[in-house]
Amino acid sequence: MPSRTRHAPTSPRRVLVTGAASGLGLALVRAFVGRGDHVLATDVLDERPDLVPPAAAYLPLDVRSDDAWAAALAHVRETWGGLDLLVNNAGVAAGGRIDVATMDEWHWIVDINLLGVVRGCRTFTPLLKEQGRGHIVNTASLAGLVHAPGMAAYNTVKAGVVALSETLSHELAPHGIDVSVVCPSFFRTNLGASFQGADTEMEDAGKKMVSGSRRTADEVAAVVVRGIDARRDVILTDRDGHIVWRAKRFARPAYTAVMKRAASRVAHGR
């Protein structure tokens, strides 16, 4: 994947992370704090989560709320006077076949996983333009690049985050702003706890894949931080992701055959 530089920052960065109470968001907060960065951890919880490192500040932020985003911007301006790195990481999980998942489920996941990222980018882009520099990192998923059956809503919103990130990477480059999209495959996290939906069969399958992964959130976060340092446009976090993504791009018939076999297993409950 393309990159522009390959060195770590020489001074502490001012970093805002959404979805920072658990999973990849929390792991990223720990990684940034460990490097000496100034970190503002945010999450939907009103009370500061116990696991957030003491060195990080905490601010409640519901990514569905324009007012909450405006408050976060005001806090950053007042506290730091600027921002170096915005990590739009907050997200929820939802599986479901197209004729089983409800429209309420679609609205729920679109509002958080896609429009939450849009709101973050819209809120902080004017500040980054004023500075003439900055870096936006949006967490998507390998599901944004490779679209397995039975995950229509999740695949769609994550593909939207990939498309948004690529668009902004071009659009904001003249202003000195970098944009990266993170596309991890399955790793051990509590994301399964946020699963909602009528398609309990697909929900159970998704939870098993998450819990059965050998990768930890901290391991994934370490790869993400290296990708940010290298200012990569697309950050894939493991070997499996690279293999599947290349198969889709360069061996499309084989990739399609695998996905159709997976769809057959889903259809027959295997």
Active site residues: 154
For residues 35 and 9, give the distance between their C-alpha atoms in angstroms, rounded to a whole number.
10
| Number of Cβ atoms within 10 Å of the Cβ of 6 | 10
Q: What angle do CA 217, 220, 224 make, to 5 degrees?
A: 130
Contact indicator for 56, 40 with CB cutoff of 8 Å? yes
Which residues, in sequence order, are bridge partners of residue 85? 15, 135
Contact indicator for 64, 112 with CB cutoff of 8 Å? yes
Angle formed by the axes of helices 152-171 and 115-131, nearest 10°: 10
Chain centroid to CA 46: 21
Burial of residue 46 (number of CB atoms within 10 Å: 0-12, 13-18, 19+): exposed
Contact indicator for 161, 119 with CB cutoff of 8 Å? no
Burial of residue 194 (number of CB atoms within 10 Å: 0-12, 13-18, 19+): middle
DSSP 66: H
